Amino acid sequence: GAGVSQSPSNKVTEKGKDVELRCDPISGHTALYWYRQSLGQGLEFLIYFQGNSAPDKSGLPSDRFSAERTGGSVSTLTIQRTQQEDSAVYLCASSSVIPGELFFGEGSRLTVL
């Protein structure tokens, strides 16, 4: 596709369950970011992948959160033992130039009941 694709667009889960969110970046983009936006809040940085470098995980809020990027392309954000405070829109973005414009997906809205 031409843009950043995220799935699922909506996910409702029960507290304590694990969830996986997927991001397909724009082809050829070496940088990939995950952010989240909680209700009424700004964009909170979670994790950043750049080429083959070790990811910058400094924004992950707890060890229940992890992410991987396979083959320098698709990324999966995994949240284990979800809590209600994890409810948010999770946004993925990619970029071909550092620094440069990020292209965002439409987000995955996670609701933890």
Q: Counting contacts by CB under 8 A, is residue 50 touching other proteins?
A: yes
Give me the phi and psi of 25, to 5 degrees please: -75, 175
Asked if 57 and 78 count as a contact pair (C-beta separation under 8 A), the reply is no
Report the residue from 21, 26, 31, 88 that binds other proteins according to the rule CB under 8 A.
31
Please name the amino acid found at residue 3.
G
Interface residue with other proteins among 29, 35, 67, 112 (CB under 8 A) is: 35
- 8 Å CB contact between 89 and 83: no
CB neighbourhood size of 57 (10 A): 13
Asked if residue 105 binds other proteins (CB under 8 A), the reply is yes
Q: Which is nearer to other proteins, 30 or 80 (CB)?
A: 30
Tell me how long the chain is: 113
Which one among 28, 42, 51, 71 touches other proteins, defined by CB under 8 A? 42
Binding residues vs other proteins (CB under 8 A): 4, 31, 33, 35, 41-45, 48, 50, 53, 56, 91, 93, 98-107
